[in-house]
Structure 1
Amino acid sequence: MSTEHLNNEEAISKLKEMATKIDIGMLCTHTKDSKHVHAVPMSTQEVDDQGNIWFLFSSESETFRHLQEDSSICLLYSDPGNYSFLSIHADTEVSQDQGRIDKYWNKMIEGWFEKGKEDPRIRVMKVKPHEAHYWDTKSNKMITFMKVAVSGITGQKMDVGRSGDLNI
């Protein structure tokens, strides 16, 4: 796997491509009561043109309580079938931006909030990455395995993918 660090617009484009394709990220928050992280699956609503990642969640969640103590998070995306992975360290902002709630509202989210779009528990989370790293083979696990095997047997260097920092 070769290293390819991406900057600015290229980094945002890669972040957007991977986070959107994988969709579900494990959002890890910190608590003062434990040295362990608290991780929950979150569905990506949008990656904007500045590289911010947007989510909807509940003010009654543990995640919300943790963010009141510490707004820094780690967000992990994983697609093992395609050997694509993304690790993001970020700060967050939480709001009740009705425009964003309206924009992201869908049947899946409706299942979490019985009172609809006007449910007072709905929160919008803006994830602002400050450090990110990616691993992307651009092919599935079997093809990647075959490339690695051929490379090992023949000594010929095969392109098995890229990894690097995303400097946004």
Structure 2
Amino acid sequence: MSKTLEEASKQLQKIDFCMLSTSGESGPFSTRPMSNNGDVEYDGDCYFFSYENTRKVSDIEQDARVGLTFTAPPSLLGKPGVFLAVQGTASLIRDKSQFEAHWVKDLDRWFPEGIDTPGIVLIKVSASEIQYWDGEDNGRIPLASRNAH
């Protein structure tokens, strides 16, 4: 039985860190860890805060296609881990009201002035497809139609 988008979203909310892959001038791709702070909506959107003057932001400005990979360890009951790969389109948000909507206290560690930290930007990744493997099941959840508008 295939997973639904809502089931995948619930799993993503439980995994704090993922790997964000971008493409840019300096190479075929670059990958770095990012925290989604549990900010994953059931419709397939993930949000990440960053500083403006980073390679990931300049990569996204050149090519908005990105990949996210999430991994959850095996359960204490022995169920295999969960692996999710998200293909999507990134957009850069510079609106402080959007910062407020997605801010969590733990972000103060990286952004000491909160949403007023100079050079802060919000990266929104809208999934076009999610692939998953959980040891018992695997499949794809296509979401291309939601990005076609």
TM-score tier (shorter): 0.7 to 0.9
8 Å Cα contact 1:78-1:85 kept in structure 2: yes
Larger Rg, first or second structure (1 or 2) = 1
Hey, what's the Cα distance between the residues in 1 that align with 2:92 and 2:45? Answer: 13
Cα drift, residue 39 of structure 1: 1.1
Whichever residue aligns with residue 30 of structure 1, its letter is S
Q: Which residue of 2 aligns with 1:48?
A: 41
- The number of residues matched between the two structures is 137
Taking the aligned partners of 2:15 and 2:42, their CA distance within structure 1 comes to 18
Deviation at 1:59, TM superposition (A): 0.5
Alignment of 1:23-42 (within 5 A): 23-35=16-28, 37-42=29-34
> Which residue of 52, 55, 60 corresponds with 2:53?
60
1:136 aligns with 2:138: no
* Contact residue 53 and residue 127 of structure 1 kept, 8 A: yes
* Runs (5+) with no aligned partner, structure 1: 138-160
Residue 62 (structure 2) aligns with:
69
SS at match of 2:141: strand
Q: What is the CA distance between 1:88 and its match in structure 2?
A: 0.8
Tell whether the 8 Å contact from 2:47 to 2:102 is kept in structure 1 after alignment. Answer: no
Residue 5 (1) aligns with residue 26 (2): no
Q: Work out whether residues 23 and 30 of structure 2, in 8 Å CA contact, stay in contact via their aligned partners in 1.
A: yes
Distance in 2, matches of 1:40 and 1:164, equals 25
* CA distance in structure 2 between the partners assigned to 1:49 and 1:164 by the alignment: 18
Q: What secondary structure does 1:85 align onto?
A: strand
TM-score, normalization by structure 1? 0.73
Alpha-carbon deviation of 1:34?
A: 1.3
Question: Is the contact between residue 131 and residue 139 of structure 2 (CA under 8 Å) also seen in structure 1?
Answer: yes
Higher relative contact order structure (alpha carbons within 8 Å, sequence separation ≥ 6): 1
Conserved in 2, the CA contact under 8 Å of 1:73 and 1:91?
Answer: yes
- In structure 2, the gaps of 5 or more residues are 76-80, 144-149
Displacement over 4 Å in runs of 4+: none
> 1:93 deviation in Å?
0.9
CA contact 2:10–2:42 (8 Å) conserved in 1: no
In the other structure, the counterpart of 1:144 is none
User: For the Cα contact (< 8 Å) 2:45–2:127, is it kept in 1?
Assistant: yes
Distance in 2 of aligned mates of 1:59 and 1:99: 17
